[in-house]
Structure 1
């Protein structure tokens, strides 16, 4: 059985509860209003919230005669502020089983599609910094949309930082599994409540219901049982 020297974790849905789509939609509508687009179709708002691509973003901005960089700056800023607010008011918190990470002997890191500055906030706010030797989120720029998972860009940066030879990536989405495999990593898909019924078109190396099962996977890999 594979022996892992490194374990990387997604953030939203793994370390902390994922942001509510209603919260992200509200921040997106606020951003649109701030740049003069008050009546944007719901499907365009949904597209922005549900993982907008660079092509989609330019198309939406063209439809509503918006300057893409100006809108995206407002959207990223307001989206991040809305996330900070939900953490501070207790509407969103970390998962209890995150504490198991402190028992792992592997080098650990975080790689997320969320903003890098939001990951910094999460690690600081929930006192998780000591668990991880490196972490990456994306920059709040339009260009960073092309670097999101399943792109392996940030995973590879973390693997380089940790000088990983054999690594495991823990996530809660299909794009996490795809990115891990593209980067030459094994994957763990965590079926938390928000993704309990998700059908995957790819097969993760492991599938668990929470992080408590992760220790067993790693321990078995080390002992060869």
Structure 2
């Protein structure tokens, strides 16, 4: 008997390789230069790349006398462009085990902290649209920084779209596990190479090494607990 009627997936680090830190740092430095700031403290670049909060972004922009909305609009555009380039030149690609999703009988969706337009690009570029009935990423706005995981906003939207009664969220970060549990979902933590040594402070419902283990979990929920 299938326990879950819905499975949601993160994108970066689950469906596709995560963006390289230096790629995102380069896009962030380019954004500072584009708005007239040529010298930026490395720890400020690191803070933005690591997933800056809205409050911290305002603080950073204040230090460099920048208008936050203008800076963020430029940064998001350049960050998106850098990701598209890496996908197109094949230096960043999808994981082979994504094919396992086609074996699931559940309704599936994607919920990511990446841009909504980038998720759309990924689904188009890797011909993955047929696997998912809905998908959500962040709008390229300041407000989206309040709504990203571990906030459940985008997860809630996907669950409503799919009329989910019992759902599972598959991610590769602590914030994914926290967001899933806050949304009333079970969680799967995928321990890929980039997060192999990550020490979680929260306990996922399941932990797997790749997506090939998913079909067994969704149809035999005691597996992996």
TM-score by length of 2: 0.97
Structure 1 CA distance, aligned partners of 2:203 and 2:221? Answer: 19
Q: Deviations over 1:45-73 (max 9, x none)?
A: 00000010001000000000001111000
- The aligned residue for residue 64 of structure 1 is 64
- The aligned residue for residue 172 of structure 1 is 172
Unaligned runs of 5+ in 2: none
Structure 1 CA distance, aligned partners of 2:154 and 2:61? Answer: 27
Q: How big is the shift at 1:2?
A: 7.4
Query: What pairs up with 1:110-149 in 2 under 5 angstroms?
Result: 110-149=110-149
Q: How big is the shift at 1:219?
A: 2.1
- The aligned residue for residue 84 of structure 1 is 84
- The aligned residue for residue 41 of structure 1 is 41
What SS is found at the alignment partner of 1:69? Answer: helix
What SS is found at the alignment partner of 1:170? Answer: strand
Structure 1 CA distance, aligned partners of 2:70 and 2:55? Answer: 16
Q: Deviations over 1:92-128 (max 9, x none)?
A: 0000000000110000000000000000000000000
Query: What pairs up with 1:24-35 in 2 under 5 angstroms?
Result: 24-35=24-35
- The aligned residue for residue 196 of structure 2 is 196
What SS is found at the alignment partner of 1:221? Answer: coil
Aligned-CA RMSD value:
1.3
- The aligned residue for residue 214 of structure 1 is 214
Aligned length: 223
Structure 1 CA distance, aligned partners of 2:125 and 2:193? Answer: 23
Structure 2 CA distance, aligned partners of 1:22 and 1:2? Answer: 42
Structure 1 CA distance, aligned partners of 2:5 and 2:15? Answer: 20
- The aligned residue for residue 9 of structure 2 is 9
Question: Which ranges of 4 or more aligned residues in structure 1 deviate by more than 6 Å?
Answer: none
Structure 2 CA distance, aligned partners of 1:2 and 1:206? Answer: 16
Q: Deviations over 1:153-201 (max 9, x none)?
A: 0000000000000000000000000000000000000000000000000
- The aligned residue for residue 162 of structure 1 is 162
